[in-house]
Structure 1
Amino acid sequence: MPKDTKILIDLERMRYENTGLSNVCESLYRGLDKLNYRKYLAFYGTNDILLKINSFEIEKWKFWHKFYNPTSKKYDVLHIMHQGSSYFPSRHRKKIITLHDLNFLHENISKKKTNKFISNFNKNLVNTKYLVCISEFTKKDFIKNKNLFTFPVDMEIKVIHNGLIFKDLKDDELPVKFNELKECEYLLNIGVLHPKKNQLALLPIIENNKNLHLVLICSNKKSEYYSIFLNEVKKRGLQDRLKIYENIEEKDKILLIKNCKALVHPSIAEGFGIPPIEAMYYGKPVFVSNKTSLPEIVGKEGYYWETFEPKHMIQRYQKGIKNYLSTPDKKQKLKKWALQYSYVEMAKEYVKLYESLI
C-alpha cells in the first residue's frame, strides 16, 4: 500500500444491491474516479464491489469485522458512509460520518429498538470531525434531537446532497418480460414496502381510475406491511391492476420509469428521496408528500399531497397530470432540476473535507 494512502472510505452497504444507499456509495467512488482523486484513498467493501474499483487501493470486508476490524488502524481518516455502520472502532482518531436520516425517531418502533439505533450512532460519533447530512431537513432533524446524541464539541455539521449517476438508454421500449404493461397506463412507486413509504395511500387513486395500474419496485424483504398492503388490494378488487417487481436490474428500473405515467411517492419519512429525482431526469411528473425532506429535494417542479385523505390525493393527482400535459417545456424543467444532483459535484464536496483532514 502506498505510504500516502490515508483515508478509508466505507462502501460496505453496497452489499445490498439495487438500494438507494448502494447507489449513493457507487456515485461517490465513481465521482472520485472521475475527478482522478485517488492518491490518499482506499475503499472498504466486499469482493464483488472491489472488482469494480481496480484503480484504487482496497480493503476487503469480512463478517467478523463487527467484532474486530484491524484494517482501520492503517488509516488516518475514516469516512463511514452510513451512520449505523457496525464495522469500525468507535475511537478512531478522525472520522467523517454521512447521516442519511433519523427515521427511527419518527417510526412506530419499540423503545428498545430506538435505543439500539441511538447507541450505535453514538459509537460512530466518537471523534467525528464532520457529520455530513444529505439534506437540510436531515441536518435540522439532527439539531432538533441533538440531546439524544453524544458528539465532540468541535464536530462540524455539513450538508452535501446525494449525487446521482443518470444513465441514458438508446431503447425506450419495455422488454418482453414486461409485456403485460405495454398496453396500459401505470403509476410507479419505488421503495421498500413499509409504513413509512405509505403505499396504501395510493390505492384510492387506482380505484378511481379504472384504466390505471400500479407498479411497485421493491426489495424482496417481506414484512407485516407487505401482507397488509396485499390484503387491502384484494379487498378493493385491484389484484389485476397491481404489479410488484422485486430486486430488478438498473436497466429495467430505468425502462419502467421512462414508460410510466407518473412517479408517485407518498412517503412520510425521507432523508433525501432518490426515486423522485430519477424520474424527474427522465421528464416524468412526480407526485410526492409535503413531508420531511421531499419539498427541499423535489422543489418547485414537483406536485404535492398535503394530506393523505383520498379525495385530496385524487384531486391533486388529476390537477397535476393536467398541468403536466398542458405545459410544453415541463419535461425540460424536470430534467434541469434533477441535473443539479450530480455525482461529480457530490464527490467534489467530500474531497474538500478529505483535504482538510490530511
Structure 2
Amino acid sequence: MTKEKKVAIYLYNLSNQYEGLGEFNHNLAIRMSAQAAELKAKHNIKLCFLVPAGMTGAYGEDVEYLVLKKWRYRLLNESLPRCIKHLFFPKVDLVHWTQQLPRLHTTLSPHTFVTIHDVNYFHNNLPEDKVKKRSKKINRTLRHATHLSFISQFAQDDVVSRFNVPHPKRIIYNGVTDQMQVPQEKIDGLPNQYLLSVSGLDDKKNVHLLIEMMRFLPNEFLVIAGRGNSEYTKMLYSLVERYQLTNVRFVGCVSAGEKAYLYRNCKAFFFVSKSEGFGLPVAEAMTASKPVFCSKLTSLPEIGGDAAYYFDELEPEKMAQTTQKLLAEYEKDPETRQKMCLAQAQKFNWDKAVDEYLNYYIDILQEK
C-alpha cells in the first residue's frame, strides 16, 4: 500500500454557515467528511480540518481536527524554525487555504493549494493606498501557493490580469443550495407579491439603487434582507425616510428557513452588486424558478447566464422602466423563463464542487 498522505483544509467563519465564506466552507466540510472514509480506503489520503474553537467533531469522526486558536496563529506566523512550528501544526502533504486572505501566513507543507474567490477591491472605488495594501496580501498568498483554484472564470481572469500567476490552476464553481428543499420559516406581514433583495448591506452591493428605484415603482413592494456596514445601513434607512417610501421593508439578517421563504414567495429577485467573484444569491433565486434582475458587472453575467435579466444602466428611474418592461414580458410566458432559471442553477452543485476539489487533491499528491 502507498504511504498515507495527509491533507489539511483550513475552514473559515464556520459560526456563520448560511452566508459568504461560512456557507462555502460548511458545504465543503459536510461533503468532504462524508467521503473521507472512502478517500482513505481508495487513495490512502487522510483529511484534517483546521477549525475554530468549539468545532472539533462537528463533521464526524472520519476526519481529524486541529483547533486554530489565537496563540497558535501567533506562533505559526512568527519567524521560528520549521521544526519548532511543527510542534504546533501537523505534518501534512498538502494544505488547502479555502480563501485568498488566510490569517495563517505560513505553510509547512510541500504543496499549498489556494482557492481565490475574488479581488473585488479593484472594482469598489477604494483609495489607492488600500488597493496597494490588499494587493500586497494577495501577493504574499501567491508566493506561498503551489496550486490555485478560482470560483468563476471571471475571478481567474481578473487575478491573472493583475498578478503574476504561473501556478497550475482550475476553475471550480461553487454549489448552490436548492431553496425548494429548505424547510420554510414564514415571515409575517409581507404582501402577497414583493420584489426581493438578499445581500450584505454595504456600498458595493448597490442596495441604495434599489431603494431609489422604488420611487418610480409605487405599485411594487421591495423586501430587503441582510446585514452589513452600520453607516451604509443607516444611509439606506435615511433614503426610505427622505422619499417617504411605504413600499420598502427591511427584515434584517434571516435564517436559512426564512431566506427560503423569501425566495419561494417573491415576485422577482434583484442583485445589482458592483463586484462579485461568484454571486451566490443569483443562483439561489434561480433554484426557486424566480426571474432575476442583475447588474452586468464582474462575474454576474457568467453566473446568471441567459436566464437572468440585466440592467443596461444602473440609474434608478431607468432600472424601474426596465423592471416594468421585463416583468410584463415575463408574465406573458413565465414557464419558459422558469425552465431557463432552473437549468442555469443546476450548473452549480456542491457535490460536484467537492468531487472536483478532492480530485484536485489526488492529482496534486500524485505529481512527481
Q: Is the pair's TM-score, using the shorter chain for normalization, greater than 0.5?
A: yes
Which residue of structure 2 lines up, in the alignment, with residue 209 of structure 1? Answer: 217
Work out which of the residue numbers 318, 338, 363 in structure 2 matches 1:356. 363
Shift of 1:227: 2.2
**Correspondence list, 1:24-173, <5 A:** 24-35=24-35, 37-39=38-40, 40-54=46-60, 55-69=62-76, 70=85, 71-90=88-107, 92-146=109-163, 153=166, 155-169=167-181
Which residue of structure 2 lines up, in the alignment, with residue 298 of structure 1? Answer: 304
> RMSD value over aligned CA atoms?
2.2
Q: Take 2:123 and 2:255, find their aligned partners in 1: how far apart are those partners?
A: 31
1:335 is matched by which residue type in structure 2? Answer: L
Shift of 1:186: 1.8
Deviations 1:309-349 (A, max 9, x none): 23321122112212322222332321121011011111111
Deviations 1:172-196 (A, max 9, x none): 6x62xx2210x34221111111121
What is the number of equivalent residue pairs in this alignment? 345
Confirm or deny that 1:191 pairs with 2:199. Answer: yes
Q: Verify the 8 A CA contact 2:91 2:109 in the aligned structure 1.
A: no
Structure 2 residue ranges without an equivalent (≥5) = 41-45, 77-84
Confirm or deny that 1:347 pairs with 2:364. Answer: no
2:256 is matched by which residue type in structure 1? Answer: E
Shift of 1:210: 2.1
SS in 2 for 1:97: strand
Change (3 A) 1:50 1:139: same
Q: Verify the 8 A CA contact 2:180 2:264 in the aligned structure 1.
A: no
Which residue of structure 2 lines up, in the alignment, with residue 235 of structure 1? Answer: 242
Work out which of the residue numbers 183, 188, 198 in structure 2 matches 1:179. 188
Change (3 A) 1:78 1:226: same
TM-score, length-scaled by structure 2: 0.86
2:16 is matched by which residue type in structure 1? Answer: Y
SS in 2 for 1:329: helix
1:31 is matched by which residue type in structure 2? Answer: R
Q: Verify the 8 A CA contact 2:211 2:236 in the aligned structure 1.
A: no
TM-score, length-scaled by structure 1: 0.89
Shift of 1:21: 1.5
Change (3 A) 1:28 1:263: same
Confirm or deny that 1:261 pairs with 2:267. Answer: yes
Change (3 A) 1:167 1:50: farther
Q: Verify the 8 A CA contact 1:34 1:344 in the aligned structure 2.
A: no
Deviations 1:275-300 (A, max 9, x none): 01000001111000011100011100
2:11 is matched by which residue type in structure 1? Answer: L
Q: Take 2:177 and 2:23, find their aligned partners in 1: how far apart are those partners?
A: 8
Shift of 1:28: 1.6
Q: Verify the 8 A CA contact 2:214 2:320 in the aligned structure 1.
A: no
